[in-house]
Amino acid sequence: MKSRAYLVRITRIYQYRPDNVRLGAIFVNHKAGAHRIEILTTQDKLNIDPKVGQQWKILKEQNFSIRQQQVSMGGYVDVWRFMEPTLKCVMPDNGVGFVTFLSTEKAFEGIGKVSAQFLWEKFRSEIFNVLERDKYAPYEKDQSKTNFQAVREVLLKDKAVHGLWNGYKEYSNLKHSAQLVEWEIEAPIQRQLFRFADQDAINFLTQNPYRLFSLGMRFHKVDDIAQKHFGIKQDDETRLVAIVEQALRLWSDQGNTVADWQDIEPSVSKLLNKDLRLVARASELDGDIVGFVKQNNQYFVSGNYIFEKTIAKRFGSLRKLNALWSSELEEAFITSFPADWPIEKAQERAVRTALVSHVFALTGGAGTGKTTTTKLIVNAYQKLGYTIYPVALSGKAARRLQQSIGNETKTIAKLLRETNLDEDKAVLLVDEASMLDAYTMWRLVTLFSEKVRILLIGDPYQLPPINAGFILNDVIKSGVINHVELDVVKRQGVDSSVPAYSNAIRHGIMPESLTTADITFHESTGDILQDAVTAYSEYDNAMIVAPTNDTVRKANIMLQGVVNPNGKILDLTDMPITKGSYDFKEGDPIVITLTSYKHDVQNGTLGVIKCAEPSDEYACVIELEDLDEKGNKRLLEVDWQLFEYIDLAYCLTLHKLQGSQAPNVIVLLERGRLLDRSWLYTAVTRAEDKVHIIGKETDFRYGVNKKGAVDSRKTALAEMLKNV
């Protein structure tokens, strides 16, 4: 146990998915008696795809444990479990390892243990240099024969020689890996590089080391590697292009898709150590589709430009296909409404407009009947023989929409895993479209046929998408896409004060009174967390929202101690896991912070811990808030990979709650970057019944007065739509 490096041989691949890799192995260089090794990790942490027989080096222990497990034949075996260690596949560096490697790895056809032994005795470690050359090239130590002939003298059969070279091809990138390690390039980036450039990886980087930036490496690390290992000078144009691209990416991280020079100049200047000469040179660069795009003195991250341009072209084509009203549409419209249905003018206009439109937006504030109107539109389209593809970003929103309209609804992520959909007579229906970013919308429009109709449903005044883009708002802003807004509130009772209150916030107007019949404003005593605990105790079913992760964490710890003091603690002693600064207990509400297709959960899925009995396979069992196909709450056994993405959910950030509602919502106000009228409006409208706001009146006024993303986010789609 003194060494922090272990050499293991893969014996079994239990699971191999992007977010869940479970490998079985045995030690090669460590005497551990009867033992079994389990390696739990993710695909992005592996330098190549694992195969049985390969040798892997565990460079250091992380979340490491040894436990005894009884075996069926009697006695015990030591189970060594490594949770997400630093790993890399390596070629054997000694005779025993080489012989075992060749004779057990299926890729080396026709080579057994004896043949492998003869090869090692003849060439020893020189065999790797031989295999990296063309088999028909002259043999380095005897130019009178080829490498093929030199190896055949040992293996005797042509089939075995070909099998040796063909097998080695699968591991030839290991040589590149060694070079990349020297260049200080991490394994996840290596993996991305091999996927993109394969055997041309070295040349790919030599031409432009800043390409690492596009593969996900941090800019400062790339810049250091480029100057240290590739000799790039500080004033090299390749470097200046990369710096402009980095500045644009930082701007894009704030949600923007387009920038003027003054938007990115501060970041460019900082990255260039305020060298005015280099900043001026950077401002003169024209850009290209590889680095960044510059058009009419506006700058784009190349990806964002492609996304918005493609969306604009598709929406423009669909708009030109809009139809005139017909008797067929009239029949579908009339029969879409249930008997004795009170038809309101806004709903009637929405259904009629949707039926003649190939791209259409239906918007409205919380509770205005968007879902009901959507159901009517779906009914009418189905009567016309259209296939409906309803989707939402979150699993919870998808299931809620399915219950409302009666059609199978998928998450966008699940739909995007399907093959291209060529059906022309179809409607793509996107719920909670205010959360659509440019990349996701681009994925959707390229998935479907060019004639598939698109229906966007949402509230444009809610929080913007986390990623760059503002699809729903740009569609409305353009003025060229058919759009109907519903403005009569139906969710809350007619006497509810929530609609008027939230509508005032939406328009940047202070409500007439901070406290109403349904909204309580509590001037904080200065201890906002204690105030939250007091408010929480007043409700049977409440959700707390806060603007920062730090406040969320502190509130969760405090509330757990007050609300669930006697819950059975999830004992992680001797388990290969570390889980922050708090314990989990039976009865705790939790949120899953990972989208996992394996577990059928989305980032933001809520639940409650029902069983806190950890095992080798599972950490706990949770009851999900999401309903199954029969309308029942679903139990989920949380394995150790998923457990890393479980957090307490007494309190949540607003982004986790967006797209959901709760009977009672407690809003914690803290002045900061996130507090604006969009945040306040979205927080208040998460409530189905009551709202309790805790904070300072000055902070509330600050949030109402501060413009939200509707007014501040810079995107180009609206202008592009006007010009297609």
Is the model more confident about 303 or about 104?
303
Cα distance between residue 368 and residue 371, in whole Å: 9
**Packed helices 219-229 and 237-253: angle between N→C axes, nearest 10 degrees:** 170
**For the segment 25-35, what is each residue's pLDDT rounded down to a tens digit?**
887 765 555 67
**Phi and psi, residue 145, nearest 5°:** -135, 160
pLDDT at residue 464 greater than cutoff 90: no
The confidence score (pLDDT) of residue 630 equals 61
Is the model more confident about 629 or about 567?
567
The confidence score (pLDDT) of residue 74 equals 45
- Helical H segments across 134-236, by residue range: 147-155, 158-169, 173-182, 187-197, 201-207, 211-214, 219-229
Burial grade of 68 (CB within 10 A; 0-12, 13-18, 19 or more) = exposed
Residues with Cβ within 8 Å of 444's Cβ and at least 6 positions away in sequence, in order, are 391, 412, 415, 416, 428, 430
Cα distance between residue 252 and residue 437, in whole Å: 11
pLDDT at residue 276 greater than cutoff 60: yes
How large a percentage of the chain has pLDDT more than 70?
87
Output the average pLDDT for the chain.
84
Specify whether the CB–CB gap between 373 and 486 falls below 8 A. Answer: yes
Cα distance between residue 231 and residue 240, in whole Å: 15
Specify whether the CB–CB gap between 433 and 361 falls below 8 A. Answer: yes
Cα distance between residue 314 and residue 319, in whole Å: 9
The pLDDT confidence band at residue 695, using thresholds 50, 70 and 90, is: very high
The pLDDT confidence band at residue 218, using thresholds 50, 70 and 90, is: confident
- SS3 call for 143: strand
Cα distance between residue 382 and residue 335, in whole Å: 11
Average pLDDT over residues 11-37: 76
- SS3 call for 384: coil
Other CB atoms within 10 Å distance of the CB of residue 722: 13
Cα distance between residue 655 and residue 344, in whole Å: 33
pLDDT at residue 631 greater than cutoff 70: no
Other CB atoms within 10 Å distance of the CB of residue 229: 15
**For the segment 139-182, what is each residue's pLDDT rounded down to a tens digit?**
988 999 999 999 999 999 999 999 888 887 766 655 566 677 67
The confidence score (pLDDT) of residue 251 equals 95
Specify whether the CB–CB gap between 26 and 10 falls below 8 A. Answer: no
Cα distance between residue 463 and residue 435, in whole Å: 7
Closest CA to 626 of 395, 371, 404, 392: 395
Pair type for strands 6-17 and 55-60: antiparallel
Closest CA to 283 of 301, 303, 255, 263: 263
- SS3 call for 208: coil
Ramachandran sector of residue 689 (left: φ over 0; alpha: ψ -120 to 50; beta: rest): alpha
> Hey, what amino acid is at 657?
L
pLDDT at residue 678 greater than cutoff 70: yes
